[in-house]
Amino acid sequence: QRLATWTEAVDAAAGLLQGQGCQRVVAIGIGIGGLVACRALARGAAIDDLALWSVPSRGSRLVREMRAFARIIEAEVIGVDRGSEAPPGLDEPAASDRGDLNVAGFVLTAEMIAELESLDLAELAVPDASRRRILLLGRDSAPPDPQIREHYERSGAAVTIADGPGYGAMMVDPQFAEIPRQVFASSIAWLADGSGARPGADVGAVRPRIPAPASDGIELTVGDALIRETPFEFEYEGVVLSGVLTEPVSNAGAHGGFCAVLLNAGAVRRIGIQRIWVEVARRWAARGVPSLRFDVVGVGDSDGEELLYRDRGAFQRSEFADQVRAAFDELERRGVADRFLVGGVCSGAYWGVHSGLVDDRVSGLLLLNLLAFFWSPELGALRDARRARALLQQREVGTVLRILATDRWRMTRMLLLKLRGGLAPGRSDESQARLRSAVVAALDQMRDRGVEVLLLLSLAEPLFDDFVADGLIDRLAEWPNLHLDQIPTNDHLFRPRWSQRYVHDALDEALARTLAKSSKRPAAD
């Protein structure tokens, strides 16, 4: 009954705003968000007006789009996984056999699909239509769904039609998304025109005010345990970073002084890929371990310029560790913790490594698909050249040409380094030896400080190839604190459901190891 739950959430949010004194509440929705907003309005939510961008009149159309998108992802990513199998105990019937739909890692159950497919906005009531305003935005060159327009015009609402340029540029990988400023400006102008009631509307007849909640947090039940989530903001170099602090209530103090800090995966906001950090935070809080998941500068709800991340490699910078350490400082200042387990995927794992190398408060690291311990364009070019040689030796010429055709940036990087002499045999060996020494020094440092490290890599991750090429795979016994594991999938983002369960199990085991080692440490002087 997820559709009903989402509708109730919109109803609650609108009621909260009204309870805080808002005279008119406008629900703005894109795609499925618009469907839910219309459903909430029909069920009496405290919503006055609607702004709908690329909202279909029927949920079945949205489901068709999601099915098409899921097939594209399967062909591009999961398709290369053929031959890799889920470990025993994690395999499951194919989603199609159950009627579920895996949309790039987010699953719509068969029940949810049926609910959406039965939803027809033209069949929904429009209470007090004469006092409502509806803004319908197209999708780039495509106009709004005509059936929605007819439905709301027939109901007597004041309908405004506008273009929706920039939709496609917005719906791409988050670090490359472009803000649709033209649509923002036109929508704000529309809102301003209707900031008061429509002529003839009876403002005094608006629903009774709902008292605003007295708390800034929320308590949730996870299993038999009670946990609490609260907004968490702190300052970093003049900007405000935002996150969510999840703490135990019923098991408070079970692991005193210890907290997990969970980081963005690139420009993916603090929920993590496939909401991994939300699930981890709540599960661990039920076990007595608090956690903070927050957005770095310019990502999600945090302040800062998002255009910082348009360049390749923008996230692979050690300076991000300063933001992680600022989170440590604030958590310690508030008395939450003074020891930390830091988790990240890809670039988030990179920031975790570099916070662990400079901050003694780090007790453990959760490094999922870490790109490198020390990143540089030189390393990227060396890896590209190594992969190209391996593919050519396997007579996979077509694969090499396809990579070059779809990712010319890699070709440019290799050519520039070649022109500078960086890929000459002697220089290449020298660079590889220098990088290997830096990684060994980092591993030695974390071992000597007793930092527990989980390094979980998919099969296609280049860092594992580095470990093999540099001979480090044969030296793992030197670092008993390092737990290197390969998950049998080529998918960098763990989209198959079984791989997500594999990751969660590995994270829980890493938490147990870190807590066990932390509890054995002598108290500080």
**Residue-wise pLDDT tens digits, 431-485:** 788 889 999 999 999 999 999 999 999 988 999 999 998 999 999 999 999 999 9
Task: Report, as an integer, the average pLDDT of 353-370.
Answer: 97
Structure confidence at residue 300 (pLDDT): 92
For the chain, give percent helix, strand, coil, nearest 5: 45, 20, 35
Q: How far is CA 259 from the centre of its chain?
A: 20
Structure confidence at residue 77 (pLDDT): 61
Most confidently modeled of 82-91, 102-111, 160-169?
Answer: 160-169
- The answer to which of 140-154, 221-235, 340-354, 389-403 has the lowest mean pLDDT is 389-403
- Chain position carrying tokens 């010319």: 408
What radius of gyration, in Å, describes the C-alpha atoms of the chain?
26
- How many CB atoms are closer than 10 A to CB 129? 15
Q: What's the mean per-residue pLDDT of the chain?
A: 86
Higher per-residue confidence, 495 vs 98 = 495
Do residues 236 and 266 lie in contact, with contact meaning Cβ atoms separated by under 8 Å?
A: no
Binned at pLDDT 50, 70 and 90, residue 85 comes out as low
pTM score, whole prediction = 0.85
Question: Has residue 317 got a pLDDT over 90?
Answer: no
Do residues 495 and 487 lie in contact, with contact meaning Cβ atoms separated by under 8 Å?
A: no
- Chain position carrying tokens 């983002």: 493
- Chain position carrying tokens 């909260």: 16
Question: Has residue 273 got a pLDDT over 80?
Answer: yes
SS (H, E, C) 294-358: ECCCCCCCCCCCHHHHCCCCCCCCCCHHHHHHHHHHHHHHCCCCCEEEEEEECHHHHHHHHHHHH
* % residues pLDDT > 90 (the chain): 64
Do residues 266 and 175 lie in contact, with contact meaning Cβ atoms separated by under 8 Å?
A: yes
**Residue-wise pLDDT tens digits, 378-406:** 787 777 776 666 655 655 555 545 545 55
CA angle, 143 as apex, 140 and 147 as ends, to 5°? 145
Q: How far is CA 31 from the centre of its chain?
A: 19
Most confidently modeled of 25-39, 167-181, 411-425?
Answer: 25-39
Task: Report, as an integer, the average pLDDT of 173-194.
Answer: 91
The SS3 call for residue 28 is strand
Question: Has residue 24 got a pLDDT over 80?
Answer: yes
Which residues contact residue 306 at a Cβ distance below 8 angstroms, ignoring those fewer than 6 apart? 179, 267, 298, 299
Retrieve residue 478's tokens: 């030197």
Question: Has residue 220 got a pLDDT over 70?
Answer: yes
Do residues 365 and 342 lie in contact, with contact meaning Cβ atoms separated by under 8 Å?
A: yes
Task: Report, as an integer, the average pLDDT of 68-82.
Answer: 71
Task: Report, as an integer, the average pLDDT of 316-334.
Answer: 95
* % residues pLDDT > 70 (the chain): 82
Question: Has residue 425 got a pLDDT over 90?
Answer: no
Task: Report, as an integer, the average pLDDT of 341-366.
Answer: 97
Do residues 451 and 352 lie in contact, with contact meaning Cβ atoms separated by under 8 Å?
A: no
Do residues 275 and 493 lie in contact, with contact meaning Cβ atoms separated by under 8 Å?
A: no
Most confidently modeled of 75-84, 86-95, 136-145, 302-311?
Answer: 136-145
- Distances in Å between the Cα of 43 and the Cα atoms of 1, 4, 37, 229, 296 are 16, 11, 10, 29, 38
